[in-house]
Chains A and B, each alone.
Chain A
Amino acid sequence: MRLDYPSNIKIIRVPCTGKVDVMHLLRAIQKGADGVYAVGCLEGACHYNEGNLRARERVNHVRRLLEEIGIEGDRVRMYNLSSGEGPTFAAYAREMAENIKALGPNPLKQH
């Protein structure tokens, strides 16, 4: 399909979003990433039944943790799509990049 999506996004592949831990998301921000998002299968369509639902819960938890610290929770998001939706993947990547651009750089970089 040769779809374009922002080149500043680094993809880390995991077997299922259920594998994504609170610490993975938090560590990304701690180490200076401007944002991090998990892209999982559609809700109700997880091959491991509820991996993506667990991921959603963890993403929400990390958003709350960041807000507590004084960093915008919206730097961490969860998106869902099916594996056949290449154009949606690219669209979500652009949406996330726009979201992060609006928020500006990770505030930890100035400290």
Chain B
Amino acid sequence: MIVAKRKPFDEIKDFLKDYKKVLTAGCGTCVAVCLAGGEKEVAVLNAELDMARRLDDNPIELGAITIERQCDREYLEALDSMVGDYDAVLSLACGAGIQFLAERYPEKPVFPGVDTTFIGVNQDVGWYEERCRSCSSCVLGLTAGICPVTMCAKGLYNGPCGGTNKGSCEISKDQPCAWYMIYERLSKQNRLDNILKITPVQDWQNQKPRTVIQPGYKTSENSAEK
């Protein structure tokens, strides 16, 4: 899931200082699961903003809505009848959701309430760890299910490098060497030959926003855009 963390309160308060009526929009999918931008977090943030603005003698009227997904037009539609009543929108969705919302209401100032941080896993309630950098060329099949782009400090597709040190990375003793872990797991699976396969380097240069059209969903409209 996409993991986000709440922005510092002062930053959010500063965004909204000139607005009197703001709609706080939560997102019910990834950011709700990672406890950063769901219905509950919307309520907490609104309570904080309400109290802070009252203390500043600059009261603010706050609305709250949490939709299933802000990255989907189907759900964003629910905001159409509300947004006009507000001076600005504060979105607690991930960066993609915020942009999709802002794109739908180009006249309306839209502000982020969270910092989108990574694609990760849930280790325990409230505890998340990064696992994927969405590099577009997955090598997990060769690396025994351990992502070197995310887990290796250098993001090496081919490793280990000379900095591997008895299972740790040269940057810190507390940072496991991804390629050591890959070696160990491949070895246990009798698939060590995979470590010798060379993966071509990723062309990180000149990246532009990527588009995916799943097979079977091509239309004259979307393939023309591509």
Tell which of B50-58, B69-77, B97-105, B153-161 binds the partner: B50-58
Residues of the A chain whose Cβ atoms lie less than 8 Å from the Cβ of B44: 22-23, 26, 65
Interface pair A111/B47, CB less than 8 Å apart: no
Interface pair B51/A68, CB less than 8 Å apart: no
Q: Is the interface of B mostly helix, strand, loop or mixed?
A: helix
Residues of the B chain whose Cβ atoms lie less than 8 Å from the Cβ of A70: 52, 55
Closest B residue by C-beta to A61: B44
Interface pair A26/B48, CB less than 8 Å apart: yes
- Interface range on chain B: under 10, 10 to 19, 20 to 34, or 35 or more? 10 to 19
Residues of the B chain whose Cβ atoms lie less than 8 Å from the Cβ of A22: 40, 44
Interface pair B47/A108, CB less than 8 Å apart: no
Q: Name A residues whose Cβ lies closer than 8 Å to a Cβ of B.
A: 21-23, 26-27, 29-30, 65, 68-71, 107-108, 111
The verdict on A23 contacting B55 (CB below 8 Å), with A68-B9, A68-B10, A69-B9 known, is no
Tell me, yes or no, whether B119 is within 8 Å of chain A by CB. no
Residues of the A chain whose Cβ atoms lie less than 8 Å from the Cβ of B59: 111
Residues 20-69 (chain B) with a chain A CB within 8 angstroms: 40, 43-44, 47-48, 50-52, 54-55, 57, 59
